[in-house]
A and B are shown apart, each in its own frame.
Chain A
Amino acid sequence: MTETATPYIALSGIRKGYRIGGEPISIFSGLDLAIPHGDFVAVMGPSGSGKSTLLNMLAGIDRPDGGTLRIGTSRLDQMGEAARSAWRAHNMGIVFQFYNLLPMLTAAENVELPLLLKPLTRKERRIRVDRVLDLVGLAGREKQYPAMMSGGQQQRIGIARAIVSDPGLLLCDEPTGDLDRKSADEVLEMLRFLNRHLEKTIVMVTHDPQAALYARRTLHLDKGDFVEEKRAA
C-alpha cells in the first residue's frame, strides 16, 4: 500500500520519558512516524526499546510528553483522559500479550464488553458478538469461560473483543508472545485476514521475526528511534 499525502496515523516530534525513582529517563526524543490507512506494521526491537510505550500512545492509553500525535482527525496529544477514554471506545481495538480476558465473564460476555460503550440493544449486541466469534472460529463457545480455553483460543477471543465494535485501528502488543507456533500462526493469519479483507489498519509489536513476516512492513525500534525498515514482498 502506498503512503498518501495525509497518513491515517501521524506522529511527529514525539517526546516521551518516565521517572524511575526520581531519575528522568527518556524513551523518545523526537520520534516521527506515518502510517497510511490499511497498513499492517510490525514493530520490532530489543526489550525496553519503547515498543509498548509507542503502542500505548497510539492506543490513547498513554500520552506523549511533547510532539503531535494524530490518528484520523483526532489529536490524541491534546486530549484529556476522559476524551481519550471515549476515543478508545470508538476508534481502536487492542490485543494484549496475555489476552487480558476477565476470568469471571464468559467468552461472549468478554467480547461484548466494548459494545456496552455503544448505544446498542441487547439483541444488536448479541448479533455482533455471534458474528465476530464466528469470524475467529469460535462459534458455539459463547458460554465457555476463558480458563477452559487454550491460549490460542483465548487470544482469538481477545481479537474478537478488539474488532467487535468495528474500529479502524487494531493495536496488538506481542499478540503471539505467549503462544506456541501453531496457535501463533493461526492468530497471525487472522490478523492478516482482518487487514487484507476488512481493511483494518494494524500496528503489531512483536519480537518474533516469523510474526513480522505477516505484516506489510516492519519497523525496528532501537534507542528511541526507528533504525531500519523492511518491506514485505
Chain B
Amino acid sequence: MSTHSRQALVMIRTNLSSLPRRFAISASMILSVALVVCVLAGFLSMARGFETALTAAGSPSVAVILGGGTNQEMGSDVPAAVIRTLDAMTGDLGALRDAGGKLILSREIVVPVDVKQVADGTARTLGLHGMDAAGPSIREGISLSARRVFAPGAREIAVGDRLASEFGLRVGDMVRLGAVDWTVVGHFSARGSASESEIWADLDAVRAAFDRQGQIQSLKLRLVDPTTLERLQDKIATITGTPLVALSEADLYAAQSGRTASLIRLFGWPLALLMAVGATAGALNTMMSSVADRTVEIATVRALGFSRLSAFLGTWVEAMVLAGAGALLGLFASWLIFNGWQASTIGANNARMAFQLAVTPDVLLTSGLLGVAIGLLGGALPAIAATRLPLTAALRARG
C-alpha cells in the first residue's frame, strides 16, 4: 500500500470513529438524504409499476386495428365498411378464423363512466368496454372467475376482479352506469394486470346506453402468433378510403403507459432534484461543522507531515459514507413503503386504472445514486476547506 493511501485510510478511520461526537448533525444529514431518496424512489417506482401493469395487460398475440390516423384508442374510429372488407378478404390474414372460416373479430368501444365507491360515495371514472361476443375470448390470459360474461344486447356487465373487490360488486348487483342500470353477471381475472380495472359489456348495449350507435373505436383480433402481425399489417394496408393501423395490444399499451409514466417522472424528478439541492446544502453544513470539529486533529496530522490530499479524502469519504447511509436508509424505507403499494391513476381512455408500485433494481440504483451524489457534492467544498485549514491557528486553538 502506498503511503498516500495509508494516510487517507487512517484519516478516514479517525473521522468515522469521531462521528459519535457529531451525532445529531450527522444523523440529520443521513435523514435528509434518505428523504430525497425515498421521494425519488416513490415516483420512479410509481412510473415503473404503471408501465409494468399496462405492459402486462397487453398481449403480443392480440392485434388491435385503429382507424382515423391515430395510434391510440382515444380518437380512433373504424368505419363499418372496413369490417365488411376484412370479412370479404380471403386467404391468410395472420389472424385466427373460426371453424367456418370466418375471421374471429371483436368490434370495440370504450366509454368513460363514473362509478360510486361504496366506501365514501365519491365517484371514480372507469372504462366501460363495449365488445362483441368474441371479445373476451380474443383477449389473452383472461379467466372467468364467477358465472358468465354478458349476454348479447343485454344490460349486463362483467367486472374485473380488482374492481369487484374494491367496489364490492357481487354477481347480481345493480350498478348505474350513465343513465341506466346494469346487472353484474360475472367477474373475470386477468392475472392481476390492469385489465382487472375494466368493465365489459355487450357492444350494442353500450352503444345504445351512451348514444354511440354505429360507432366502432377499434377491432381486436387474435393473431396466429406474434410474428403474423406483419401479414395483417400488409393486408390492411391494401384497404383504401381510411387510414388504418394494426399493432399488437402489447405495443399499444406500452405506448400509452409510456406517456403516463413519463408524466409521473416529469413530476418526480424536479421535485426530487429540488429536495436534493436542499439536502446538498444540509450536507455542506454538516461537513463544514465536521471539519470545524476535527480542526485540531487535522492540523495535528498535517503538522506531522500528512498531505492535503489525505485531509481532503478523509472529509469527502465521511460525506459519502453519511450520504450512502442515508441512501441505504431511504432505499430500505421506500422498499418497505412503496413496493406493492396499490395506486391508481388515469390510464388509457380516461379511465382510472389501479396498479402496484414496483421498487425495481433500476429504481433503487437511480435513487441511491442521487443520494450518494448529494454527499459527493455537499462534501466537496468542506473537503477543500479541510485542506486549507491554517495550521498555526488550528494548533493555537487548543491552548
Contact = CB atoms under 8 A, between A and B. Distances in A.
Binding between chains A and B: yes
Interface of A: 52-53, 56, 59, 61-62, 81-82, 85-90, 94, 96-98, 100, 102-105, 109, 113-114, 116-119, 161
Contacts of B13: 104
A76 to B, nearest CB: 13
B308 A89 contact: no
List 5 tightest A-B contacts by C-beta distance, closest first: A89-B305, A88-B305, A104-B17, A100-B300, A116-B6
Interface residues of B, number: 25
Interface stretch (B325-333, B337-345, B390-398): B390-398
A96 B14 contact: no
B304 A94 contact: yes
B395 A89 contact: no
A117 B395 contact: no
A86 B305 contact: yes
B14 A104 contact: yes
A85 B302 contact: yes
Contacts of B306: 85, 89, 113, 117
Give the interface SS of chain A, mostly helix, strand, loop or mixed: helix
Contacts of A98: 398-399
Given A85-B302, A100-B300, A116 B7 contact: yes
Contacts of B14: 102, 104-105
Nearest to A118: B3
20 contacts: A61-B392, A82-B308, A85-B302, A85-B307, A86-B305, A87-B305, A94-B303, A96-B300, A97-B398, A97-B399, A100-B300, A100-B395, A102-B14, A103-B18, A113-B304, A114-B304, A116-B7, A116-B10, A117-B6, A119-B3
Contacts of B392: 52-53, 56, 61-62
Nearest to A173: B395
Contacts of B398: 96-98, 100
A88 B303 contact: yes
Contacts of B303: 59, 61, 88, 94
A46 to B, nearest CB: 15
A81 B308 contact: yes
B301 interface: yes
B127 to A, nearest CB: 64
B399 A102 contact: no
B17 A117 contact: no
B296 interface: yes
A215 B278 CA distance: 58
Given A102-B300, A104-B17, A117 B305 contact: yes
B140 interface: no
A104 B18 contact: yes
B251 interface: no
Contact of B3 (A52, A81, A117): A117
Contact of B396 (A52, A102, A109): A52
Contacts of B114: none
Given A85-B307, A114-B305, 8 more contacts: A82-B308, A88-B304, A89-B305, A94-B304, A96-B300, A100-B300, A100-B398, A102-B297
